[in-house]
């Protein structure tokens, strides 16, 4: 009698402590693919419809939207911090070096937000819209689809300095880029799979021209660059020319999400130094992963979907942390 009273009361204490901890630290809550099942059950198809119509007039926008999610998640987690404009205390991430004049698609996120608000007002976060837009972008471009874990909330701040330090730079070596991924809990397989997003979209000459003429002060091009591809790139990006000129990240299928990116690397036709390093760094663990994705598109697609989920799980705000922004560009009430 006493012992059963004791064990049931200690059980109640345990339950009470658990509830208290979950209330105090709601950010421990998991995202869920059914988060909006009762509040906005159509949200995925609303997002998909707007992304499809954006793709109809801009074949590049899917690539841009996937990148937007990446550049949000790597800086303080997937919390839509990237979407905030400059204002009073906010120094925007948009103006950080890797983003300014480079990240695009903010207008499409606003269009999606408007469409979502029209059907379910005040419940869907901008951070979840970005995650859903990334999935639609991959699947509508020929890539994998996956159920997106949801329930993120939107930040109250931006972190411009964080964007300048946490995002990988195309001139960094593989060890540095690997450490930036591991800093957010992503491993080498995630790095290779997610780099496969360079299967579509564009890059500006300024992001790879250091490879074309005087690589690392050698007065020669990057030796890991295929010579005919080098000639093509030199024509697109003449020395001291316009650094904003665009070229395809994957010239073999510019707007399609496929495994060709990995064959490009095997053929010394990676556009960015950070791309080619995945295959050309002697002894690196990434080499065999590139080879396996190059030979098996479904292996790449399965890994890509899982790694996008992993990236989408980077320290989200959940529970009562953050807010559901009414306008993705600004904190509520500002
Ligand atoms: C591994 C480290 C990475 C580096 C160093 C890197 C760097 C870059 C650079 C320099 C550009 C061209 C930007 C410009 O010229 O304006 C670019 C474009 C792009 N990146 Fe990455 N990236 C990396 C990883 C990723 C990841 C993880 C994703 C997504 C999962 C991604 C998706 C894209 C896409 C889709 C584009 C084309 C965007 C467009 O056309 O608007 N990248 N990246
Ligand atoms: Ca963020």
Q: Which domain CATH number covers 178?
A: 1.10.420.10
The Å distance, Cα 74 to ligand 1 centre, comes to 13
Is 145 within a domain?
yes
pLDDT digits (tens, 9 = 90+) for 73-114: 999 999 999 999 999 999 999 999 999 999 999 999 999 999
152 inside domain: yes
Is 79 known to sit in a ligand binding site?
yes
Asked whether residue 274 is domain-assigned, the answer is: yes
Shared-domain flag, residues 98 and 119: yes
- Note the ligand closest to the C-alpha atom of 158: 2
Residues 147 and 101 in one domain: yes
Residue 323 lies in a domain: no
Annotated catalytic residue within 48, 60, 67, 71? 71
**Distance from CA of residue 160 to its chain's centroid?**
17
Residue 327 lies in a domain: no
pLDDT computed for residue 24 by the predictor:
42
Q: Is the domain of 302 the same as that of 180? A: yes
Based on the fold, state whether residues 192 and 284 are members of the same structural domain. yes
Domain region containing 261? 174-311
Number of domains in the chain: 2
Task: Check whether residue 179 and residue 307 sit in a common domain.
Answer: yes
| 194 & 300 share domain | yes
Residue 29 has a pLDDT of 73
SS3 278: helix
**CA–CA distance, 135 with 269 (Å, rounded to integer):** 27
Q: pLDDT of 149-191, one tens digit each?
A: 999 999 999 999 999 999 999 999 999 999 999 999 999 999 9
pLDDT of 199 higher than 50: yes
Report if residue 110 sits inside a domain: yes
| CA nearest neighbour of 312 among 104, 66, 93 | 66
Q: Are residues 178 and 277 in the same domain?
A: yes
Contacts of 109 (CB under 8 A, 6+ apart): 65, 68, 83, 126, 129, 130, 133, 328
C-alpha closest to that of 248 among 281, 208, 280, 192 = 208
Q: Which ligand is nearest to the CA of 81?
A: 2
| 246-248 vs 202-204, strand pairing mode | antiparallel
Same domain, 149 and 81: yes
Q: Do residues 147 and 209 share a domain?
A: no
Distance separating alpha carbons of residues 278 and 244, to the nearest angstrom: 25
- pTM for the whole structure: 0.93
**Same-domain status, 99 and 125:** yes
Task: Please tell me whether residues 58 and 140 are part of one structural domain.
Answer: yes
Residue 136 pLDDT grade (very low, low, confident, very high; cuts 50, 70, 90): very high
Pocket around ligand 1 at a 6 A CB cut-off: 60, 63-64, 66-67, 70, 102, 104, 168-170, 177, 194-195, 197-198, 200-204, 207, 249, 272, 274
Give the Cα separation of 130 and 317 in Å (integer).
14
Q: Is 126 helix (H, G, I), strand (E, B) or coil?
A: helix
178 and 255 fall within a common domain: yes
Query: Domain holding 152: CATH number?
Result: 1.10.520.10
CB 115 within 8 A of CB 43: no
């Amino acid at each position: 009698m006493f012992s059963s009273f004791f064990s049931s009361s200690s059980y109640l204490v345990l339950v009470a402590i658990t509830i208290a901890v979950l209330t105090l630290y709601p950010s421990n809550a998991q995202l869920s693919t059914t988060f909006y099942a009762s509040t906005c059950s159509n949200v995925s198809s609303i997002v998909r419809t707007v992304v499809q119509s954006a793709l109809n007039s801009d074949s590049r926008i899917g690539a841009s939207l996937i990148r937007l999610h990446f550049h949000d998640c790597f800086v303080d987690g997937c919390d839509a911090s990237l979407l905030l404009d400059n204002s009073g205390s906010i120094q925007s991430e948009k103006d950080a070096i890797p983003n300014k004049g480079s990240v695009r698609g903010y207008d499409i996120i606003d269009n999606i937000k408007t469409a979502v608000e029209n059907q379910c007002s005040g419940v869907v976060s901008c951070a979840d819209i970005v995650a859903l837009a990334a999935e639609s972008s991959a699947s509508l471009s020929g890539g994998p689809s996956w159920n997106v874990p949801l329930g993120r909330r939107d930040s109250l701040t931006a972190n411009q300095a964080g964007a300048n330090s946490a995002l990988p730079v195309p001139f960094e070596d593989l060890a540095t880029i690997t450490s930036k991924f591991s800093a957010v809990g992503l491993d080498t397989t995630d790095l290779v799979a997610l780099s496969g997003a360079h299967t579509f979209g564009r890059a500006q000459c300024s992001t790879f021209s250091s490879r074309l003429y005087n690589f690392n002060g050698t007065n020669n091009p990057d030796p890991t660059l295929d010579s005919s591809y080098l000639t093509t790139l030199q024509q697109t990006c003449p020395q001291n020319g316009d650094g904003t000129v665009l070229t395809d990240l994957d010239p073999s299928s510019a707007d399609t999400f496929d495994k060709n990116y990995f064959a490009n690397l095997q053929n010394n036709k990676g556009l960015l130094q950070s791309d080619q390093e995945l295959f050309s760094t002697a002894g690196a663990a990434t080499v065999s992963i590139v080879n396996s994705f190059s030979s098996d598109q479904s292996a790449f697609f399965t890994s890509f979907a899982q790694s996008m989920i992993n990236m989408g799980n980077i320290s989200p705000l959940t529970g009562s942390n953050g807010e559901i922004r009414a306008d993705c560009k600004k904190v509520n009430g500002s």
